[in-house]
Amino acid sequence: MRTPTLRPRPSGPPEASTAFVPIAEEARNEAPPAGIDPDKSLSWLRRALPIMRAHKGIFATSLTLSFFGLILQVSIPLLLSKAISNSIEKHTVPLSYYVWWIVGLGLLSGVFGYIARLFLFETAYDIEYDLRNIIYEHLTKMSFSFYDRVQSGQLISRANSDIRSVQMYMTFAPLILVQCSMAVIAFCVMLTISVPLALVAMATMPLVYWTGVRMRKSMFPVSWIIQARLADVATIVDENVNGVRVVKSFAAEEQQLRSLAGAADKLQWGYIKDADLRARFTPLVQNLPQVGLALVLLFGGYMVIHGTLGVGNILTFNLYLLMLQAPFMMLGMLIMMGQRAAASAERIYEILDEEPTVTDALDAVDLVDCTGDVRFRHVDFAYNEDAEQLVLADFDLHVPPGQTVAIVGRTGAGKSTVARLLTRFYDVKHGSVELDGHDVRDLTLASLRANVGVVLDEPFLFSASVHDNIAYGKPSAGRDEVEAAAKASGAHEFISHLADGYDTVVGERGYTLSGGQRQRIAIARTLLVNPPVLVLDDATSAIDVQVEQTIHAGLKVQMEGRTTLIIAHRLSTISLADRVVLLDQHKVVADGTHAELLATTPLYAEVLAQAAEFEAADEDDGPEDDGGRASGDTPLGAMLDAVRAGGRP
């Protein structure tokens, strides 16, 4: 296995193969015990049932205790009826006897209710945990093409508010249904007292059911609109927070406020429409049982007057009807929760049902003892599958182990695409990309990306310490290893001058550091992993030329015996390469040393001159890290003068 220390890679034959062992830490959290049913023909709730079944023990206990608590509550009106009949009217039983029974049943019902709600909320948070992990795990598997077209705000909304809607319904809907079972129990008890009066008391129930059905059908589309527009607002906020520097640099605050206000107005319309539907239907669902109360008083009073029903019995009926009001109020809430949960679940399933386009093959093998032999064979590629214009067309390139190759070309020539295909961020349309003779599609993604380190031109840093950012690919690395990587990338000096050194916490995306400092930390992060293949995608574009020369000196040591691809946008980086490849018209049009291409390929000199002009303009504006201008007395100026003269820098 490779030793992840910072030293030149050996150029000799590899040792005996060993199993691939990833250096990154494995997840220590518990994986969700179940997932979403992949059968798209099922209803949203049936697809989510495996998650509920995974917690059926504690959930069933909660519902059972709730049910027993309801039985105890239903028995209390019966005791009151007997207390009135036996203790107040007939004086056959002491009143204290019923008082103690009612107090005891009330206390026991409270204990059942406490345990039931405790278990219920534990189940709710377990389900939320499972859903959140299922979605996040799926997002980590999705290909780059997915993120190219999906807004981050939409994903954030579905991973937060939509999950909460689904979780609340999955856990509280069964509880509400158990609460509503009180109506069935109460109706059975009322039948034992008086069948005619029981039928009168429940006469309004068909109308309640009809109202609930109408309410459900009306609220579903509105619930979908609300969840979608919540995601739109989240997207705008996310983009403005991440792009705050662009917004402020163009003084576009008012413009973005108008954009947010427009999205908020659309969301407000959805909420108002939702409130309007609630105002129409909820009072009917909640108050129709009170009509039953009036009917009970009317017909029950008539029966009491004519001696066919006792006073205690009519009191029992009234208490049961009052107890039924709460379940029917919750029934209206259940309908609203159900429609919002259905809309949220469909939005979540849209993500979970989408399969990644780049995955491990069933017979994929781990890449071990990588020598770094890179080969592109007749590669055709376009970012959109149906695009007619290819980014790379019949692209051929071979980089032998240990060689450093600079890839040069105009903007849009496909230079960065070469790096993305090598790491299999995308799959080729035709042809193949090979590493050590293996098609990268036949290798496991983990082993492939462990052997190919990429430093991007726009480095991303996490809101963590400098040490943790450098050790991101190898969390177990000690401080000595981290410092060695930082020294090799030229980052150690400025890190040492930070307030807390390597323990300094950088801001979100590392914006508390300069662009050049972020790039140097990104280079150190990749060097610490010590990959046999290194890709530098304009990795020093934000670094001052003088500082860059120091970094190059360190990189030359690290690139010895290591296959390196340099995506070259700056003239100064070409000096690191043994060989230069020129891209044009989506393919390699020239291949050789810098001097050979400069002497034989006019397009190469033209591309370099254009890049030098842009670089000189950037230097005149003032470099980010140190100082210096692109004049003849600087490395950049000398190189620019040489290119203009048609010579070698």
Q: Which residues, listed in sequence order, are joined to residue 583 by a DSSP beta bridge?
A: 409, 588
Please determine, for residue 398, whether its predicted confidence score (pLDDT) is greater than 90: yes
97/205 same-domain check: yes
Among 352, 386, 404, where does a domain finish? 352
Mean pLDDT computed over 259-273: 85
What are the pLDDT digits (tens) for 154-212?
788 788 888 888 888 888 888 888 877 777 777 787 788 888 888 887 777 777 767 76
Residue 151 in domain? yes
H helix or E strand, kind and range, residue 396: strand 392-399
Residue 520 in domain? yes
Which residue range is the domain that position 238 belongs to?
44-352
Please determine, for residue 94, whether its predicted confidence score (pLDDT) is greater than 80: yes
Please determine, for residue 614, whether its predicted confidence score (pLDDT) is greater than 70: no
343/392 same-domain check: no
Residue 18 in domain? no
State the number of CA atoms in the 13 A half-sphere of 103 facing the CB. 6
Buried b (16+ CB within 10 A) or exposed e, 518-527: bbbbbbbbbb
Beta strands, E only, 523-578? 533-537, 563-567
H helix or E strand, kind and range, residue 589: strand 587-592
Residues in Cβ contact with 438 at an 8 Å cutoff, skipping those fewer than 6 apart: 365, 367
The one-character DSSP state at 303 is H
- Return the percentage of the chain with pLDDT > 90, whole number: 11
Please determine, for residue 76, whether its predicted confidence score (pLDDT) is greater than 50: yes
Could you tell me the sign of the dihedral formed by the alpha carbons of 623, 625, 629, 633, in that order? negative
381/347 same-domain check: no
pTM (predicted TM-score) = 0.71
DSSP 158-204: HTTHHHHHHHHHHHHHHHHHHHHHHHHHHHHHHHHH-HHHHHHHTTT
392-399 β-sheet, strand order? 392-399, 374-381, 430-435, 438-439
Residue 192 in domain? yes
295/252 same-domain check: yes
**Number of domains composing the chain:** 2
- Return the percentage of the chain with pLDDT > 70, whole number: 81
558/641 same-domain check: yes
Torsion angles phi and psi, residue 580, rounded to 5: -125, 135
Residue 23 in domain? no
Please determine, for residue 25, whether its predicted confidence score (pLDDT) is greater than 70: no
Residue 4 in domain? no
113/203 same-domain check: yes
Residue 15 in domain? no
In 10 A of CB 84, how many CB atoms? 19
436/330 same-domain check: no
Q: Which residues, listed in sequence order, are joined to residue 452 by a DSSP beta bridge?
A: 533
383/347 same-domain check: no
pLDDT at 435: 93
Residue 20 in domain? no
- Residue 230: give its domain's CATH number: 1.20.1560.10
347/380 same-domain check: no
Mean pLDDT, the chain, whole residue set: 79
108/255 same-domain check: yes
More confident residue, 119 or 189: 119
More confident residue, 599 or 213: 599
316/386 same-domain check: no
More confident residue, 353 or 303: 353
411/454 same-domain check: yes
- Residue 578: give its domain's CATH number: 3.40.50.300
| Cα–Cα distance measured from residue 580 to residue 636, given in angstroms and rounded to the nearest whole number | 19
What are the pLDDT digits (tens) for 454-483?
888 778 888 888 999 999 888 888 899 999
Tokens for 395, please give them. Answer: 């692209």
